[in-house]
Amino acid sequence: MISLLGLVLVLLLKNDIKLGISIIGSLTLFTSPQEVFMAGLDFRKGLGMIVAIMVTLFISEEFSCKTMKLKLIVKKSKYKIYFSKLIEAISIAISIVLVYEIVVIIGGLLGFYNIEELVNIGNIGRLIIGILIYASIGAIICFINMFFQNMFTSIIVSLAYIILNDTFSSIIKIIFTRVNMESLGIMKLLLNTQTNNLYFEIKVINCFQSFLSFLLLTSVIVIVGGKIFESTDINS
């Protein structure tokens, strides 16, 4: 499905068809190779919702099929189960964005558009940051699923997180500003702030900030999420 989406957009470029779609209230344009490339890296443009749904379906299936309880019966620790699901969720998220971008790049190599428009250091940095952002999203969606242990609830909360990410980030910024904690640089670790940075000149420090954000976020999810999962009963 992801490869098909990338292929369709590349074919539109080949036939010089200009396309604009309103996604989550903002207009997303697919009129140039750069815009098609960036649409995949910005999780707010639609691909993030696909990640939320795919990760939720993958994890929730194990709860509905009672696979989680079976793993406990064979004496697997809850913490190991949680960590394995986290790795799988991150892998799914990264795979989705990579498949999309690879198809877009292959389209250029096949002559559907001028590939030189995408080949530059800035876009390499953007791809690295985008992968780290999607990895973080995969970790967050995993936490949501392992917390609620219910497919319907997890999908609703996960999609709400993706759709309302800007609103959520704005609230966090206001809170930290009012308590005079801006100096901690916490705003630079927010996913929407990192995503906004994709549209400006990319520097090494931007990649480092995204990597730091991923490590910090994943560490919190592993520690907090793992403890919560260990202390709760499996619903299914």
Residues 177-189 pLDDT 10s:
665 555 455 666 6
Percent of the residues in the chain that have a pLDDT greater than 70, as a whole number: 76
pLDDT of residue 193: 67
In angstroms, the first-to-last Cα distance of the chain is 30
Name which residue leads in pLDDT, 194 or 165. 165
When pLDDT is averaged across residues 106-122 and rounded to a whole number, the result is 81
Place of tokens 């242990």: 149
Q: Is 201 helix (H, G, I), strand (E, B) or coil?
A: coil
Instruction: Tell me how far apart the alpha carbons of residues 110 and 103 are, in angstroms, rounded to a whole number.
Output: 10
Report the residue count for the chain.
Answer: 236
- HSE, CB side, 13 Å, CA atoms: give it for residue 189: 15
- Beta-strand (E) ranges in the chain? 19-23, 26-30
Helix (H) or strand (E) holding 230: helix 226-231
Give CA–CA dist 222/153, Å, rounded: 21
- The mean pLDDT value of the chain amounts to 80
On the question of pLDDT at 24 being above 90, the answer is no
SS3 145: helix
Residue 70 to residue 55: CA distance in whole angstroms: 20
User: CB of 217 within 8 A of CB of 136?
Assistant: yes
Q: How far apart are CA 40 and CA 61, in angstroms?
A: 27
pTM: 0.86
